[in-house]
Structure 1
Protein backbone atom coordinates (compact mmCIF):
# COMPACT_ATOMS: atom_id res chain seq x y z
CA UNK A 1 0.00 0.00 0.00
CA UNK A 2 1.79 3.12 -1.12
CA UNK A 3 1.29 6.34 0.80
CA UNK A 4 1.62 9.44 -1.35
CA UNK A 5 2.20 13.06 -0.41
CA UNK A 6 1.61 15.57 -3.17
CA UNK A 7 2.57 19.22 -2.92
CA UNK A 8 0.84 21.59 -5.34
CA UNK A 9 0.93 25.36 -5.81
CA UNK A 10 -1.48 27.34 -3.60
CA UNK A 11 -4.86 28.00 -5.17
CA UNK A 12 -5.03 25.04 -7.54
CA UNK A 13 -8.68 24.37 -8.35
CA UNK A 14 -10.26 21.43 -6.48
CA UNK A 15 -11.19 19.59 -9.70
CA UNK A 16 -7.64 19.92 -11.03
CA UNK A 17 -6.24 18.79 -7.67
CA UNK A 18 -8.48 15.71 -7.86
CA UNK A 19 -7.22 15.04 -11.40
CA UNK A 20 -3.65 15.14 -10.12
CA UNK A 21 -4.47 12.64 -7.36
CA UNK A 22 -6.31 10.32 -9.74
CA UNK A 23 -3.50 10.52 -12.30
CA UNK A 24 -0.93 9.49 -9.71
CA UNK A 25 -3.18 6.73 -8.36
CA UNK A 26 -3.95 5.28 -11.79
CA UNK A 27 -0.23 5.22 -12.63
CA UNK A 28 0.42 3.24 -9.44
CA UNK A 29 -2.33 0.77 -10.35
CA UNK A 30 -1.16 0.39 -13.95
CA UNK A 31 2.61 0.24 -13.40
CA UNK A 32 3.12 -1.66 -10.16
CA UNK A 33 -0.15 -3.57 -9.92
CA UNK A 34 -1.36 -1.72 -6.84
CA UNK A 35 -4.96 -2.61 -5.96
CA UNK A 36 -7.42 0.10 -6.98
CA UNK A 37 -8.76 0.50 -3.43
CA UNK A 38 -5.37 1.50 -2.00
CA UNK A 39 -5.76 5.25 -2.42
CA UNK A 40 -3.91 7.26 0.23
CA UNK A 41 -2.69 10.65 -1.04
CA UNK A 42 -2.18 13.59 1.32
CA UNK A 43 -2.25 16.80 -0.72
CA UNK A 44 -0.83 20.05 0.57
CA UNK A 45 -0.58 23.45 -1.06
CA UNK A 46 2.49 25.66 -0.90
CA UNK A 47 2.86 29.41 -1.38
CA UNK A 48 5.73 31.11 -3.19
CA UNK A 49 7.51 31.83 0.09
CA UNK A 50 7.15 28.26 1.41
CA UNK A 51 8.91 26.20 -1.27
CA UNK A 52 12.18 27.16 -2.90
CA UNK A 53 13.61 25.22 -5.83
CA UNK A 54 16.02 25.70 -8.69
CA UNK A 55 14.02 26.25 -11.86
CA UNK A 56 16.88 24.96 -14.01
CA UNK A 57 18.20 22.00 -11.97
CA UNK A 58 19.62 19.23 -14.15
CA UNK A 59 18.85 21.18 -17.32
CA UNK A 60 15.06 21.10 -16.92
CA UNK A 61 13.20 24.41 -17.23
CA UNK A 62 10.60 24.39 -14.44
CA UNK A 63 7.82 26.91 -13.91
CA UNK A 64 6.40 28.25 -10.66
CA UNK A 65 3.79 25.46 -10.82
CA UNK A 66 6.04 22.58 -9.74
CA UNK A 67 4.23 19.54 -8.33
CA UNK A 68 6.13 17.28 -5.95
CA UNK A 69 5.08 13.63 -5.62
CA UNK A 70 6.56 11.72 -2.68
CA UNK A 71 5.77 8.02 -2.61
CA UNK A 72 6.42 5.72 0.35
CA UNK A 73 5.91 2.04 -0.32
CA UNK A 74 7.11 -1.41 0.51
CA UNK A 75 10.44 -2.43 -0.96
CA UNK A 76 10.55 -4.83 -3.89
CA UNK A 77 9.58 -3.06 -7.12
CA UNK A 78 12.04 -3.36 -10.00
CA UNK A 79 13.69 -0.39 -11.66
CA UNK A 80 11.60 -1.13 -14.77
CA UNK A 81 8.41 -0.85 -12.71
CA UNK A 82 9.60 2.44 -11.21
CA UNK A 83 10.47 3.84 -14.65
CA UNK A 84 6.99 2.90 -15.86
CA UNK A 85 5.47 4.48 -12.75
CA UNK A 86 7.30 7.78 -13.19
CA UNK A 87 6.43 7.92 -16.90
CA UNK A 88 2.80 7.04 -16.17
CA UNK A 89 2.47 9.77 -13.55
CA UNK A 90 3.85 12.39 -15.91
CA UNK A 91 1.67 11.23 -18.82
CA UNK A 92 -1.47 11.22 -16.67
CA UNK A 93 -0.82 14.63 -15.12
CA UNK A 94 -0.15 16.20 -18.50
CA UNK A 95 -3.27 14.66 -20.09
CA UNK A 96 -5.68 15.09 -17.18
CA UNK A 97 -4.51 18.15 -15.27
CA UNK A 98 -2.53 20.15 -17.86
CA UNK A 99 0.69 19.80 -15.85
CA UNK A 100 3.90 20.13 -17.84
CA UNK A 101 6.16 17.07 -17.54
CA UNK A 102 8.91 19.54 -16.61
CA UNK A 103 6.89 20.50 -13.54
CA UNK A 104 6.60 17.02 -12.01
CA UNK A 105 9.23 16.11 -9.41
CA UNK A 106 8.90 12.54 -8.08
CA UNK A 107 10.82 10.71 -5.40
CA UNK A 108 10.31 7.49 -3.52
CA UNK A 109 10.99 6.00 -0.10
CA UNK A 110 11.01 2.24 0.26
CA UNK A 111 10.60 0.29 3.46
CA UNK A 112 9.26 -3.01 4.80
CA UNK A 113 6.00 -4.24 6.35
CA UNK A 114 7.54 -3.72 9.79
CA UNK A 115 7.51 0.04 9.12
CA UNK A 116 3.71 0.25 8.79
CA UNK A 117 0.55 0.18 10.84
CA UNK A 118 -2.49 0.84 8.68
CA UNK A 119 -5.18 0.88 11.33
CA UNK A 120 -6.13 -0.07 14.87
CA UNK A 121 -2.47 0.13 15.92
CA UNK A 122 -1.86 -3.31 14.41
CA UNK A 123 1.64 -4.13 13.24
CA UNK A 124 1.29 -4.44 9.45
CA UNK A 125 3.60 -7.47 9.33
CA UNK A 126 0.96 -9.40 11.27
CA UNK A 127 -1.62 -8.46 8.66
CA UNK A 128 0.68 -9.40 5.78
CA UNK A 129 1.37 -12.79 7.32
CA UNK A 130 -2.37 -13.48 7.58
CA UNK A 131 -3.22 -12.58 3.97
CA UNK A 132 -4.67 -15.38 1.94
CA UNK A 133 -6.02 -17.40 4.88
CA UNK A 134 -9.65 -18.29 5.29
CA UNK A 135 -9.39 -18.15 9.09
Structure 2
Protein backbone atom coordinates (compact mmCIF):
# COMPACT_ATOMS: atom_id res chain seq x y z
CA UNK A 1 0.00 0.00 0.00
CA UNK A 2 2.44 2.66 -1.06
CA UNK A 3 1.43 6.30 -0.95
CA UNK A 4 3.34 8.27 -3.59
CA UNK A 5 3.84 12.02 -3.42
CA UNK A 6 5.66 13.72 -6.28
CA UNK A 7 6.98 17.28 -6.13
CA UNK A 8 8.36 19.26 -9.04
CA UNK A 9 8.62 22.74 -10.51
CA UNK A 10 5.43 24.25 -11.88
CA UNK A 11 4.69 24.21 -15.58
CA UNK A 12 4.46 20.60 -16.71
CA UNK A 13 1.56 19.28 -18.76
CA UNK A 14 -1.13 16.85 -17.68
CA UNK A 15 0.52 14.28 -19.97
CA UNK A 16 3.85 14.77 -18.17
CA UNK A 17 2.13 14.24 -14.82
CA UNK A 18 0.39 11.12 -16.09
CA UNK A 19 3.70 9.72 -17.36
CA UNK A 20 5.20 10.25 -13.88
CA UNK A 21 2.29 8.40 -12.30
CA UNK A 22 2.51 5.56 -14.82
CA UNK A 23 6.28 5.16 -14.52
CA UNK A 24 6.35 5.08 -10.73
CA UNK A 25 3.34 2.75 -10.54
CA UNK A 26 4.80 0.38 -13.13
CA UNK A 27 8.14 0.29 -11.28
CA UNK A 28 6.37 -0.52 -8.01
CA UNK A 29 4.36 -3.30 -9.67
CA UNK A 30 7.48 -4.79 -11.28
CA UNK A 31 9.87 -4.59 -8.33
CA UNK A 32 8.01 -3.91 -5.09
CA UNK A 33 5.18 -6.48 -4.99
CA UNK A 34 2.51 -3.81 -5.29
CA UNK A 35 -0.84 -5.34 -6.24
CA UNK A 36 -2.88 -4.22 -9.22
CA UNK A 37 -5.13 -1.22 -8.51
CA UNK A 38 -3.05 -0.18 -5.46
CA UNK A 39 -2.69 3.41 -6.70
CA UNK A 40 -2.60 6.33 -4.30
CA UNK A 41 -0.54 9.13 -5.82
CA UNK A 42 -0.38 12.92 -5.79
CA UNK A 43 1.63 15.56 -7.61
CA UNK A 44 2.40 18.96 -6.16
CA UNK A 45 3.89 21.67 -8.34
CA UNK A 46 5.99 24.49 -6.90
CA UNK A 47 7.22 27.88 -8.03
CA UNK A 48 10.97 28.43 -8.01
CA UNK A 49 10.68 30.21 -4.65
CA UNK A 50 9.14 27.13 -2.99
CA UNK A 51 11.22 24.36 -4.56
CA UNK A 52 14.85 23.95 -3.53
CA UNK A 53 16.99 21.03 -4.70
CA UNK A 54 20.76 20.96 -4.31
CA UNK A 55 22.36 20.99 -7.77
CA UNK A 56 25.40 18.98 -6.63
CA UNK A 57 24.77 17.12 -3.36
CA UNK A 58 26.55 13.76 -3.17
CA UNK A 59 28.18 14.32 -6.54
CA UNK A 60 24.93 14.21 -8.53
CA UNK A 61 24.45 17.02 -11.07
CA UNK A 62 20.76 17.97 -10.77
CA UNK A 63 18.89 20.50 -12.87
CA UNK A 64 15.82 22.66 -12.31
CA UNK A 65 13.84 19.76 -13.77
CA UNK A 66 14.40 17.61 -10.66
CA UNK A 67 11.52 15.45 -9.48
CA UNK A 68 11.22 14.50 -5.81
CA UNK A 69 9.36 11.24 -5.23
CA UNK A 70 8.38 10.28 -1.69
CA UNK A 71 7.02 6.78 -1.27
CA UNK A 72 5.48 5.81 2.05
CA UNK A 73 5.14 2.03 2.34
CA UNK A 74 5.00 -0.85 4.80
CA UNK A 75 8.43 -1.86 6.08
CA UNK A 76 8.34 -5.28 4.43
CA UNK A 77 10.90 -5.02 1.61
CA UNK A 78 14.60 -5.82 1.62
CA UNK A 79 17.50 -3.80 0.29
CA UNK A 80 17.57 -5.63 -3.06
CA UNK A 81 13.92 -4.73 -3.73
CA UNK A 82 14.54 -1.11 -2.77
CA UNK A 83 17.53 -0.82 -5.09
CA UNK A 84 15.56 -2.44 -7.91
CA UNK A 85 12.70 0.01 -7.33
CA UNK A 86 14.94 3.09 -7.42
CA UNK A 87 16.68 1.94 -10.60
CA UNK A 88 13.46 0.99 -12.35
CA UNK A 89 11.79 4.31 -11.53
CA UNK A 90 14.78 6.19 -12.98
CA UNK A 91 14.74 4.00 -16.12
CA UNK A 92 11.02 4.37 -16.74
CA UNK A 93 10.93 8.10 -16.11
CA UNK A 94 13.87 8.58 -18.45
CA UNK A 95 11.93 6.78 -21.19
CA UNK A 96 8.72 8.74 -20.51
CA UNK A 97 8.35 11.66 -19.82
CA UNK A 98 12.10 12.17 -20.35
CA UNK A 99 13.39 12.91 -16.84
CA UNK A 100 17.18 12.71 -16.57
CA UNK A 101 18.15 9.96 -14.08
CA UNK A 102 20.21 12.56 -12.19
CA UNK A 103 16.98 14.50 -11.62
CA UNK A 104 15.09 11.60 -10.01
CA UNK A 105 15.29 11.96 -6.21
CA UNK A 106 13.49 9.20 -4.28
CA UNK A 107 12.76 9.06 -0.56
CA UNK A 108 11.30 5.83 0.82
CA UNK A 109 9.53 6.22 4.15
CA UNK A 110 8.75 2.90 5.83
CA UNK A 111 5.95 2.56 8.35
CA UNK A 112 4.34 -0.20 10.38
CA UNK A 113 1.22 -1.81 8.90
CA UNK A 114 -1.02 -0.44 11.66
CA UNK A 115 -0.22 3.10 10.50
CA UNK A 116 -2.71 2.90 7.63
CA UNK A 117 -6.45 3.36 7.40
CA UNK A 118 -7.71 2.60 3.90
CA UNK A 119 -11.24 3.78 4.60
CA UNK A 120 -14.12 3.36 7.04
CA UNK A 121 -11.85 4.47 9.91
CA UNK A 122 -10.35 0.97 10.13
CA UNK A 123 -6.73 -0.16 10.40
CA UNK A 124 -7.04 -2.82 7.70
CA UNK A 125 -3.40 -3.99 7.83
CA UNK A 126 -3.18 -4.15 11.63
CA UNK A 127 -3.15 -7.55 13.29
CA UNK A 128 -6.27 -7.98 15.39
CA UNK A 129 -5.45 -7.78 19.08
CA UNK A 130 -8.92 -7.60 20.61
Question: Paired residue for 1:28?
Answer: 28
- Cα deviation, residue 8, structure 1: 1.8
Q: Deviations over 1:29-55 (max 9, x none)?
A: 000121120011111001100011210
- RMSD over aligned CA atoms reads 1.2
The answer to whether the 8 A contact 2:9-2:51 is kept is no
Large movers: runs of 4+ above 3 Å = none
Question: Paired residue for 2:122?
Answer: 122
- Corresponding pairs, count: 128
Q: Does 1:8 align with 2:8?
A: yes
Question: Could you say what secondary structure the match of 1:21 adopts?
Answer: helix
Give the TM-score of the pair, scaled to structure 1: 0.91
- Cα deviation, residue 124, structure 1: 2.1
Distance in 1 (CA, whole Å) between partners of 2:117 and 2:52 is 32
- Cα deviation, residue 125, structure 1: 3.2
Give the TM-score of the pair, scaled to structure 2: 0.94
Distance in 1 (CA, whole Å) between partners of 2:53 and 2:37 is 33
Which segments of 5 or more consecutive residues in structure 1 lack a partner in the other structure?
130-135
Question: Paired residue for 2:55?
Answer: 55
Distance in 1 (CA, whole Å) between partners of 2:5 and 2:78 is 21
